[in-house]
Structure 1
Amino acid sequence: MRSRHATFPLFAVLSWGVMFPVLASALTRVDPLNLTTVRYLLATAVLVALLLLREGPGALRSGGRAVEVVVLGVLGFAGFNVLTNLALGHAAPQQIALFVATVPLVTQLVRWVRDGVRPRPALLVVSLFALLGVGLVITRGRLDGLGQFGVGGLLMIGAVLGWAVYTHGASRFADWSPLRYTTLTAVAGTVTMLVASAVADRTGLQHAPAAADLVAVAPQLAYAVLVAAVLAVLAWNTGVRRLGAADAALFMNLVPVTTFVVQTARGYRPGVVELVGAALTIAALVAANLVTRSRPAAPTPAPTPAAVTDRPAVIDPIALVSR
């Protein structure tokens, strides 16, 4: 059963890993912040439409949790994306990807701070091995340049922390469907990105894209919106619900590895150290799955009367496109 649940975060991280090469060409026509804002404007519109269709207008209400929703949306959507885009101006993409791989460790620390739940030693160990594998993939065994990461590193620390808090926050909305949590937090994050982008355009920090530029990058936007922003985020939050934040976050190690594989398919030839790193990361994730399976099963709670509804409590994001 847990293997089936693992397909959700796996789908998400593979989608995000493919996204970086897909968007690379789009960034030559549209500024990073504007591209991200357009992407999430479209994605949020799709999410709102899906939420209205499946759960009705009442699901758009925050139920007295507006402040928490806004904070998580700003940290998870706006914070991660904006800070990552800014960091790309100060550091190489492979260094950025290496920081993304720290999400599992940071998520466990956030859970420790907020809930008082100490990370299981075995999961910490496999997280460190997975991070080591990603480091070998990204740096090809040369770590001498990481010590001078500077401003970009500080920005990425903030970005990773924001996504870790967002991932942990999903587990605190157990009474909401993943679709509802994703949509309402996406609205908050998108509004923040829209304001930031407008300010950057008006102050000359970037230039508003022309219609011809947006048409030129339409294929990249289609993937980034429908797959990487809608289906992947829904799958991620569903995975967090079913596996827990700490276990789901382990899959983030595959994001830079996936990007590496895509680049290899496009003609890049990896070295032995990179192949060893990829194998180490995959082995660590398999070990994490085995460690999780070895936990004693929690006692099954007594059944409670179900509310009369024709909507499922958990959305299968892959099934949405097959109907």
Structure 2
Amino acid sequence: MRSRSAALPLFAVLSWGVMFPVLASALTRVDALNLTTARYVLATAVLVALLLAREGVTALTTQRRGVEVLLLGALGFAGFNTLTNLALGHAAPQQIALFAATVPVVTQLVRWARDGIRPRPAMLGLSVVALVGVGLVITRGRLDGLGEFGLGGLLMVGAVLGWAFYTHGATRFPEWSPLRYTALTAVAGTIAMLAASAAADLTGVQHAPHAADLVAVAPQLAYAVLVAAVVAVLAWNTGVRRLGAADAALFMNLVPVTTFAVQILRGYRPGAVELAGAGLTVAALVAANLVTRTPARRATTATPVPAAVVDRPAVVEPVAVVGR
């Protein structure tokens, strides 16, 4: 059961890792913020249609939690994507990708701050090990300039915090299906992105794309919408529901490693340090999976633990999965 659950966030992060090379060519025709907004307008329409078909119109209600949904959607969808795009104008892509790998540690710290649940030392340690591996992959062992991120680094701190709060927020809606949480927060995030894009277009920071530009990037948009923003986010939120936010967030370390692997398939030849870093990251994730399995095995022979002291969220069966 746990292996099948782990496949969900794994699929999500692999999809997101592939997405960066896929969208790279699209950015030559459409500005980054407008491209992201177009992607989520389409993805949100698909998510809302799926929600209506599966759970009915009553699922569109927020049950008096509209402010929380709006905040989480703005942080997770609009905040992460917008701040990441802005950061790319101030820092190298490999530096930005390195920040994304800090999500596991930040998510555990967010859970500690909000819920008072102290992270297990082994999980924190393995998160750091995986982060070191990702750093080796991205920097090829040249770490001398990593301390000078400037404005780009500050923007990415905000982006990572936004995604960590969004990931943690999924566990606060145990009575909602992953589809409902994804769709309603996507609506909120898309509204925020539309507002940001309109402001940027009106002030001349970017230019609204022509219809011909959108047609030219249709294949990239199709992947980014259907796979990376619908299927992957649904898989991610379902995985968070089953595994817990801290354990699921460990898989975020594979996003930059996946992007790196795609570049190899396109002809890039990695060095020994990069291959060692990729191996270190995968080994840390496997070890983390084994660590989280140990308590479950012991529980089969131990006295049942009262539900009040279990920090895992209630399991909700995933939707019929069709998703930065």
| Distance in 2, Cα, partners of 1:260 & 1:145 | 20
List alignment gaps of at least 5 residues for structure 2: 308-314
Provide, for residues 218-277 of structure 1, a one-character-per-residue CA deviation record: whole Å limited to 9, x for no partner. Answer: 000000000000000000000000000000000000000000000010000000000000
The DSSP-based 3-state class of the residue aligned with 2:109 is helix
Write out aligned runs for 1:159-174 (5 A): 159-174=159-174
Given residue 318 of structure 2, which amino acid in structure 1 is its aligned partner? I
C-alpha distance in structure 2 between counterparts of 1:204 and 1:314, whole Å: 46
Question: Equivalents in 1 of 2:319, 2:289: separation in Å?
Answer: 21
Partner in structure 2 of residue 14 of structure 1: 14
Note if 1:105 corresponds to 2:105: yes
Could you tell me which residue of structure 2 aligns to residue 291 of structure 1?
Answer: 291
Query: Structure 1-normalised TM-score?
Result: 0.94
**TM-score using structure 2 length:** 0.94
Match of residue 235 from structure 2: 235
C-alpha deviation, 1:315, in angstroms = 2.9
Structure 1 residues 18, 317: CA separation in 2 closer, same or farther (over 3 Å shift)? farther
Question: What's the counterpart of residue 314 of structure 1?
Answer: 317
Q: CA RMSD in A?
A: 1.4
How many residues of Structure 1 are paired with residues of Structure 2 in the alignment?
Answer: 310
Give the secondary-structure state (helix, strand or coil) at the position aligned to 2:141. Answer: coil
Between the aligned partners of 2:100 and 2:160, the Cα distance in structure 1 is 6
> Structure 1 residue 27 and structure 2 residue 27: aligned?
yes
Distance in 2, matches of 1:115 and 1:192, equals: 27
Cα deviation digits, residues 256-311 of structure 1 (max 9, x gap)? 00000000100000000000000000000000000000114384889xxxxxxxxx
1:309 alignment partner in structure 2: none
**Residues in 2 aligned to 1:177 and 1:269: alpha-carbon distance in whole angstroms:** 43
For residues 242-281 of structure 1, the aligned pairs below 5 Å read 242-281=242-281
Question: Does the aligned pair in 1 maintain the 2:178–2:319 contact within 8 Å?
Answer: no
**Are 2:257 and 2:278, in contact at CA under 8 Å, matched by a contact in 1?**
yes
The amino acid of 1:219's aligned partner reads P
Q: Residues 1-323 of structure 1: matches in 2 within 5 Å?
A: 1-295=1-295, 296-297=298-299, 299=304, 313-318=316-321, 320=322
Q: Confirm or deny: 8 A CA contact 1:235 1:317 kept in the other structure.
A: no
CA distance in 1, matches of 2:172, 2:81: 22
| One-letter amino acid matched to 1:297 | A
**Could you say which residue in structure 2 is the equivalent of 1:306?**
none
Unaligned segments of structure 1, at least 5 residues = 303-311
Cα deviation, residue 28, structure 1: 0.5
Q: Secondary structure at the match of 1:147?
A: coil
Write the distance in 2 (CA, Å) between the matches of 1:193 and 1:210. Answer: 18
Percent identity between the two aligned chains: 79
